[in-house]
Each structure stands twice: as C-alpha cells, then as structure tokens.
Amino acid sequence: MKQNVKQIVEQVIEDVKAKNPLQEEFHQTVEEVLTSLIPVLEKNPNYIKYKILDRLVEPDRQIMFRVPWTDDKGEIHINRGFRVQFNSAIGPYKGGLRFHPSVNLSIIKFLGFEQIFKNSLTGLPIGGGKGGSDFNPKGKSDIEIMRFCQSFMTELYRHIGPDVDVPAGDIGVGGREIGYLYGQYKKIRNSTDQGVLTGKDLTFGGSLARIQATGYGVIYFVEEMLKEAGKDLKDKTIVVSGSGNVAIYTVKKAQELGAKVVAMCDSDGYIFDEEGIDVELIRQIKEVERKRIKEYAMRKPSAKYFEGNKGIWTVKADIVLPCATQNEIDLESAKIIVENGTIAVGEGSNMPCTNEAIKYFLEKGVLLAPAKATNAGGVATSALEMAQNSMRLSWTFEEVDEKLKDIMINIFKKTRDAAKEYGYGTNYLAGANIAGFIKVADAMVAEGIV
C-alpha cells in the first residue's frame, strides 16, 4: 500500500503538469502540498477511493475575461481578468484579487490552491478562490484605477455574491480598489449585499482590524512557534521584505513585542536602518504618498538604500519574514540566511520560498512558519467581516483582534499536532498542509462526487 500511495500521488502530480503546461507556480504548490500528504492518504484509503487529490487539483471553474478601460489621455487598454473558483467544499469561495503585471493563470491558480488549505485552517466556513488581473496599477491616476476597477467588476459581478464567492484584496488591491469595486457591484446589482467583498472601508461594512490582520496574524503565529521552541521575539533582529499592507503591520506588531526590524524593501531596492525601521514613515511613503522606498533613506539619516531587492537576504537577522511576493527566497538566498545564523523564517507572503529553499531550511533546523498558516489571519478576519455583515453589526477593534489572536493560536496548535501525528516532527509546512487538507477532504467525501 505504501509504495502504491506514493505512486498514486506522483501520478496526480504528473497529470497536473501534463494538463497544465507552463503553469510553473501551480505545479510548484501542487507538488509541495501533495507530497506531504502521503502519510495521510496511507492512513485514510477513502481519500484515494473518492479520488480527493484528482478532484482537488481541478478547480470548480476558471473564469477569464477581457477588461477594457480608458486612460486619462483617452487611449484604450485591454487587460485580462481572472477568477478561479477552486473549491467550495467547506464554504463560499474566498480569496483576494491581485492586480500586478506578473499575473497569469498559473499565478492565480497557485494562489487559489493555497487558499483552499489556508481557509480551512482558519476553522471558519470559507472555500478557496483567487482572482486578479495583469493590470499594472503603478503610476496610474486615481481616476484610471477607478475606471479599471469598474470595468473589472462589470464582468466579475455575475460570478460572485455573499454566499457564492467573496473576493478581497491582495497585491495591488487595497481599500481604495475594494471601494471602487464595491460601488460598481452595488450599482449593477441594485443591492447593497455588503458581504460580497471584504476589506471594505469602515463606512460601508468593513471590519475594524482587517487592515492590520494579516501582519498581526503573522507575528501571533511566529510568537507561538518560538514559544514552542522556548524562544521569543524580545530583542530579536528581524528583516521583513516588502513594504505593502502585510509587511507594514508585521513590522508594527513585531516592534510592539520588543523586536528590532532593520530592513524592508520594495521591487526596486531595500533599505537598512540600524536604528530600527520607523514604520509610520514607511506607511506614509508607501500607502499615503504611493512613492518608492528609496524616499525613506532620503528622509531618515540613519538609513541606507541599496538598489535591487535580493540583497535584503544578506542582512544578518535572527528572524526573517518574507512579506513581499512568491519565490522571493531561492536556494542561494536560503544558504546566506542560514549562514547568517537565522533561527526562524516566517512566511507572510504566499509561497515566498522555493521548494529547494524550504528543503534547505528544514534540513538545517531553521524553524519555518508556513504561509498557509502564518498569513491566514487576513482571510480569517475577512470571514469575521462577513459574519459582521450578516449580523448587521460591528465588533470593536479589541474584539476582532482577540478573535484573530485565538484563531492564530489555534492554527498553530492544529499545525503542530498534525505534524507530530503524521511523523513530521517540527515540519510545520507538512503539518499545515495536512490539517488544512483533512477538513476539506472529509467534506468532499461527505458531499459525494460533485
């Protein structure tokens, strides 16, 4: 049976590669997740019988559409829009929208696949989906962003709904974009349906603490993982890549707990500030003024700016928290990180480490907090936003933050226990995959072959 299960898993991975050629990021996540599930499948032959893996890797549906829009000079542009509704076994499709020129079907499918397990780990009733566009928001005027969002929603609206599919933000999509998307949805549907999108402004159904949730959640998870190893965040030197929503609130919470964050980056380069990052200044530059991180070094004398962001991994730190984008840490950077004596890596962005980098960290005994579990606080708080919308009331910041913290502690426990139970020790990546998978697989068995 043992050999047999391994062969079955390898066959599913081969089939995914053959059926979805060139979708490298999607292949990467499928390979990483499925391989770690072998001991679970050996113990539960029903999952093989009901073809759970074959069903999981094929999205319920993949929607691709044209998004025409006009720039401020009157020139017409055509972008491609995506929404992949991956799995609804445990609840409505849930996952963000990413607007970035690198977006293609492979990127959306890898994100959607990861989202299935992440959402399951939250313990809340949300399925997995993801969407976005290859639209590049960089340098666009506010009105151009609005026109793009309206055009995007003019197609997307027919596929979503509070009990069907609930998009939110991701890279390139924040509160401003969610507002424009919601306005257009409401106009077309003539229905307020607040729960159709999350990450909304507080004035029309947004949840307190949603903005902070992903970053705070990253630190709550890392804190639990360190505690388990008899360590904590106090006085630790930390490098956080990125300077978007996840990175900013990760830094803020890490500092609150006594850590010193010395470096951050954007896609152009990184800053090193030996006095510790002034996160309010970063927020001002990146979120309010929408400028490049280079600005920080011009305004803060203790900081240095370096062109190119890969160099951020050469900065010596006790803990590194990749919070920028996928595959930002490859094997080469992983080797430098280990050489620098780093004790823990916490994945804030989705799939920030290549499979080779992950393998290397685990071999070298670096504690790895996997993205699916570590960054689940964002989507968990989105589910809390949906709950508040359904109840037509709102909780205080403290109430939401407390719920978020409980959820993150529970995710850590589930992850740790599943890793232990299936012989993975402190391989929390395998633990997160397994704990996330079992709930979805059981639902898929119970709901029949659909």
Active-site residue list: 130
Selected from 170, 223, 328, 347, the binder of ligand GLU by CB under 6 A is: 170
Nearest to 333 by CA among 351, 308, 306, 360: 360
- Write down the least CB distance from residue 159 to ligand GLU, Å: 15
Closest to ligand GLU by CB, 244 or 269: 244
- Write down the least CB distance from residue 37 to ligand GLU, Å: 21
Query: Pairing between strand 367-369 and 344-346?
Result: parallel
Q: Binding of ligand GLU at residue 379 (CB under 6 A)?
A: yes
Q: Binding of ligand GLU at residue 322 (CB under 6 A)?
A: no
Closest to ligand GLU by CB, 271 or 369: 369
Query: Pairing between strand 319-321 and 237-240?
Result: parallel
Strands (E), 116-259: 127-133, 165-168, 237-240
Q: What is the contact mask toward ligand GLU in residues 176 to 205, using x (rule: CB under 6 A)? A: ----------------------x-------
Closest to ligand GLU by CB, 237 or 326: 326
- Write down the least CB distance from residue 373 to ligand GLU, Å: 11
What is the SS3 assignment for 132? strand
Q: At residue 210, what is the residue type?
A: R
Contact yes or no for 357/334 (Cβ under 8 A) = yes
Contact yes or no for 148/79 (Cβ under 8 A) = yes
Terminal-to-terminal C-alpha distance of the chain: 27
| Residue facing ligand GLU at closest CB distance | 96
Stretch of residues binding ligand GLU (CB under 6 A), selected from 92-100, 132-140, 215-223, 420-428: 92-100
Q: Binding of ligand GLU at residue 168 (CB under 6 A)?
A: yes
Transcribe 265-279 into DSSP letters. Answer: E-SSEEEEETT---H
Token pair belonging to 233: 């965040």
CA separation for the pair 387, 378 (Å, rounded): 14
Nearest to 431 by CA among 418, 449, 444: 418
Under rule CB under 6 A, how many of the chain's residues touch ligand GLU? 10
Q: At residue 376, what is the residue type?
A: A
Closest to ligand GLU by CB, 250 or 350: 350
Q: Binding of ligand GLU at residue 122 (CB under 6 A)?
A: no
Selected from 133, 350, 354, 415, the binder of ligand GLU by CB under 6 A is: 350
Nearest to 207 by CA among 72, 390, 435, 389: 389
- Write down the least CB distance from residue 286 to ligand GLU, Å: 17
Q: Which residues bind ligand GLU (CB under 6 A)?
A: 94-96, 168, 170, 198, 350, 378-379, 382
